[in-house]
Amino acid sequence: MQIEGISAVVTGAASGLGAAAARALAGRGASVIGLDLPAAIERAGAVPPGVRYAAADVASADDVARALGTLDPDGPPLRLAVNCAGVAPAARLVSARGVHDLDLFRRAIEVNLIGTFNVMRLAAAAMADCDPDADGQRGVIINTASIAAFDGQIGQVAYAASKGGVVAMTLPAARDLARSGIRVNTIAPGIVDTPMLAGLGEETREALARDIPFPARLAHPDEYAQLVLMIAEHDYLNGETIRMDAALRMPPQ
């Protein structure tokens, strides 16, 4: 798929993986709508060229529909959706603090899984109305899971369940949307050096990097963005979950 001259929606676009993806797509000539929560957009500061922010909770049907509704019907068609918005709660099923909070589990599912599904369904509906390209393709959806979907650690039961759901949706979603000419793929990152990890301190980040086979370092958000570009442009990639983890297999803790 040609990136230049399309519209793209990126969730979680005010920081981390989403911000990197939004910048990369805009840099390649896409018109990007970056969805995020109002507080995150406020913290983001300057808006990158080619990106405009829209305040939205990805789990809200009204919020996402409203954001997509701001697309200019005479402007570039929506061809790409990248789901990066997510939360990463940590809690054991049972610990000295008590039993796992049900609302914490529910929130992980709501944002990471339902939010991804919500954006995917609404973006796919918009793409399905677009004219196909020469190969019959109308759009691409790229979701974000995590290697926790496969190697969930102690304390990651809610997070792993939500990301495992994203992985499980990938193939059936690709099959559902095949007749509309829309591809669906998922990226499962390992440990990425995002602002969330920056708060852990240098010593903790170095300890995390020691378990990574090669390269023995944390991933850069721009490497995630590079993979987004590759998936968008590689027309034969469909229904796949791609691990971006430097051969890391997470230990129990």
Q: Active-site residue numbers?
A: 159
157-177 vs 115-128: helix crossing angle, rounded to 10: 20
Main-chain dihedrals φ then ψ at residue 192, nearest 5 degrees: -110, 140
DSSP string for residues in 73-116: TTSPPEEEEE--------B-SEETTEEPPHHHHHHHIIIIIIHH
CA atoms of 150 and 164, how far apart (whole Å)? 7
CA atoms of 51 and 144, how far apart (whole Å)? 20
Six-digit token string for 5: 């001259």
Ordered alpha helix ranges (H), the chain: 16-27, 38-44, 61-68, 102-108, 115-128, 148-151, 157-177, 195-198, 202-210, 221-233
Sign for the pseudo-dihedral over CA of 51, 135, 125, 120: negative
The amino acid at 153: Q
